Amino acid sequence: MDVLSKLDPDGRRKLEELGDARVDEFVAAAARLCEPDAIFVCTDAPEDIARIRTMAAESGEERKLALDGHTIHFDGPRDQARDKANTRYLVPEGMELGRSLGAVEREEGLAEIKGFLKGAMRGKTMIVRFMCLGPTGSEFAIPCLQVTDSWYVAHSESQLYRAGYEEFRRRKGEGQIFRFLHSAGELEGGVSKNVEARRIYIDIADEVVYSVNDQYGGNSIGLKKLALRLAIRKAAREGWLAEHMFIMGVKGPEGRVTYLTGAYPSACGKTSTAMLPGESIIGDDIAFLRKKGGLLRAVNTESGIFGIIRDVNSDDDPLIWDVLTRPGEVIFSNVLLVGGDTPRWLNDGRDVPASGTNFAGEWSSDMKGPEGKPVDCAHRNARYTIKLSDLANCDPRLDDPEGVPVGGVIYGGRDSDTNVPVLESFDWPHGVVTMGASLESETTAATLGKVGVRTQSPMANLDFLAIPLGEYIAKHLEIVAGLTTAPRIFASNYFQKVPSGEYLTGMADKRVWVKWMELRIHGDCEAIETPLGLIPKYDDLARLFKDVLGADYARADYEEQFAIRVPENLAKLERAEALYREEPTTPPELFEIIAAQRERLDAARKAHGDRISPFVFVKG
């Protein structure tokens, strides 16, 4: 039987117009395997996109909320974050992908996941979507075909990505595409029932990703972290970078705008940095970086935000707050539903409601967990899904097909005791090695598992790596070859703590750190050389705290925050070195840079002790 007979004439015409055999074949194979009742082909036409929105609510995967355009979706209780253990690469026999990248033998894995996908769309509609990673009509763009039976996933992609049907049509079957097949599997109460059979398999040979028995965005939305994995491989082949990075514009003197990208592990301040008041945002999660005209240029692969909603409040996040509290297209996921039509979340700056419904069922404020602790009203990884263009601070160059020039790259982690709040590298390789490759962070609720455990998180991209780690670092070292100006590299740390557990720096202080970086990129202020890199001068920060925050910045605070903690940094270097010694592909340069940093720290320790005041390094 011709499976495409399930297509109505309109759907058939939509596929024919593309003239892309790969699309026809993928859709036919998916239909044969998953046995949907119907197939809906979505083009870029507003009525097609509207149908997805309507069906998301009609199918019960989303529910309408009080404000016009707002909906809520729940993922199942065991499907609240990325499932790293069940996300694997399908690797053909004889191929070595690299240590700890989670591989499954290809044929075996395909048989397993196809077994789970068999008949998975019975009684459902298969949705066929054409999207584009990166701006359309751009050298950065990668057309993507998403097949799913989840109206919620399809709706999320409307919010998060550029429509790509016209991009496919323009390309007439030429060039590379990524393909994704997703099924939420059997649903119970609107959520995936068979989570123990959740699998996310990435077929690197065919650039196809299969995902089954899940709905949580990080597991289900093909274009997000699943595409990032394919993109990392493509980038490595073609000489560009695919990174877990935000892109923001920082305003400098006289109307100057300088673009920064930043890599932070999930739930470590990436979105809040990209969203800083007074600056502009291009993206908060994934960037592609290419060399063009002597500069490194970046685009956001996305056009929306799948952001963590916990802690979003009207004072700290006025711009997101505005979008979340006025009518407009917003999907809330895994928040607390109050009175059947109002979303609430953890630490939203309001009184905690008495009761409501959350991902686990009915909730009330007097509920106690196993250890007698109060039960959170919503999941810590609850999210909002919005379009960037709905934000008042959306940068006008979001869709620039040329990308924006990258002035600086920031690496930041959740680090309570080692690094200073802001630090500039001596040069590109020093930054790549000691800031990016050595990045560490304490785990968060964005992935399943224990939180608060210090883990190595190279470039905040380790979760998504699809090539051996050493090779990946080598690609970073190489990327600046031939550039007229390499971006500066900075490290930031918002999470220094005093022994009693309080944070040493304020939430708003990051506004100052980015202004300092902006000035440094243009050579507009000096810095102090320490064994770790370059730190700000006290006077410059005091002036910036006054200008940006209207606040006084005490010398004592500076001295505490910017003290060089020698033993902690030596221990971190040792952990980094141990990690890379295990990686056969590590470039030797990495070890040289680590050795030099260790020597500088040892010498400073001999002269000044374990914890060294920043004033010690001021010359003259």
Using CB under 6 A as the criterion, which residues of the chain lie in contact with ligand SPV when the complex forms?
Answer: 82, 217-218, 224-225, 266, 285, 306, 446
User: Is the distance from CB of 573 to CB of 598 less than 8 angstroms?
Assistant: yes
Rounded Cα–Cα distance for residues 4 and 24 (Å): 9
Selection from ligand SPV, Mn ion, none that 458 binds (CB < 5 to 8 A by kind) is: none
Which residue number places its CB atom closest to Mn ion?
285
CA 76 to CA 286: how far, in whole Å? 26
Q: In whole angstroms, how close is the CB of 82 to ligand SPV at the nearest point? A: 5
Please identify, using beta-carbon distances, which residue of 243 and 424 lies nearer to ligand SPV. 243
CA distance 531 to 273: 26
Query: Does residue 509 sit in helix, strand or coil?
Result: helix
The Cα–Cα gap between 521 and 407 comes to 6
> For 176, what's the count of Cα atoms within 13 Å in the CB-facing half-sphere?
18
> Cβ 537 to ligand SPV, closest distance in Å?
34
Picked from Mn ion, ligand SPV, none, the partner binding residue 224 (CB below 5 to 8 A depending on kind) is: ligand SPV
DSSP tag of 615: G
Nearest to 438 by CA among 315, 570, 556, 323: 570
Member of 44, 83, 203, 285 binding Mn ion (CB under 5 A): 285
Of 58-66, 280-288, 419-427, 467-475, which part binds Mn ion (CB under 5 A)? Answer: 280-288
Q: Do residues 272 and 412 lie in contact, with contact meaning Cβ atoms separated by under 8 Å?
A: no
- Nearer CB in complex with ligand SPV: 183/444: 444
> Can you give the C-alpha Rg of the chain in angstroms?
24
Selection from ligand SPV, Mn ion, none that 288 binds (CB < 5 to 8 A by kind) is none
* Catalytic residue status for 525: no
Q: To the nearest whole angstrom, how small is the minimum distance from the Cβ of residue 382 to Mn ion?
A: 15
Q: Which two tokens stand for residue 428?
A: 């590109």
Helices (H) and strands (E) in the chain, counts: 17, 35
Q: How far is the CB of 273 from Mn ion (least distance, A)?
A: 13
| Residue among 450, 413, 423 at smallest CA distance from 269 | 413
Q: Which is nearer to ligand SPV, 242 or 521 (CB)?
A: 242
For ligand SPV, the closer of residues 167 and 285 by Cβ is 285
Nearer to ligand SPV, 230 or 563 (CB): 230
Contact of residue 344 among Mn ion, ligand SPV, none (CB under 5-8 Å per partner type)? none
What is the residue-wise DSSP string for 187-219? EETTEES-GGG-EEEEETTTTEEEEES--SHHH
**Strand-pair partners of 283:** 247
218 binds, among ligand SPV, Mn ion, none (CB under 5 to 8 A by kind): ligand SPV
Active-site choice (34, 42, 144, 268): 268
Judge whether 306 and 332 are in contact, CB under 8 Å. no
**Nearest-10 Cα torsion for 518, 522, 524, 527:** 70
Q: Given the complex with ligand SPV, which of 169 and 379 has the nearer CB atom? A: 379
- Closer residue to ligand SPV (CB): 224 or 233: 224
Cα separation, 505 vs 254, in Å, equals 28
Instruction: State the minimum distance, in angstroms, from the CB of residue 153 to Mn ion.
Output: 17
**Shortest separation between residue 218's beta carbon and ligand SPV, angstroms:** 2
**Tokens matching residue 253:** 């003197």
- The residue at minimum Cβ distance from ligand SPV is 218
Nearer to Mn ion, 207 or 285 (CB): 285
DSSP, res 124: S
CA-closest candidate to residue 454, choices 502, 422, 418, 421: 418
463 binds Mn ion (CB under 5 A): no
Q: Please, what is the minimum distance in Å from the beta carbon of residue 221 to ligand SPV?
A: 7
Q: What's the min distance (Å) between Cβ of 391 and Mn ion?
A: 18
Neighbours of 50 (CB within 10 A): 11
Residue with tokens 């005041």: 613
Pairing of strands 330-333, 280-283: unpaired
Q: What is the widest separation between alpha-carbon atoms in the chain?
A: 84
| Shortest CB 305 distance to ligand SPV, Å | 9
- Among 447, 134, 69, 433, which Cα is nearest to 297's? 134
Report residue 597 as tokens.
Answer: 């940093």
Q: Which of residues 258-277 bind Mn ion (CB under 5 A)?
A: 266
Minimum distance between the CB of residue 244 and Mn ion, rounded to whole angstroms?
6
**Helix, strand, or coil (residue 113):** helix
Nearest-5° Cα angle at 83, 81 to 86: 165
CA distance 418 to 442: 12
* Cβ closest to ligand SPV, residue 82 vs residue 129: 82
Closer Cβ to Mn ion, 159 or 561, answer by number: 159
Q: Could you tell me how far CA 239 lies from the centroid of its own chain?
A: 21
Catalytic residues: 268
- Catalog residues that contact Mn ion under the rule CB under 5 A: 266, 285
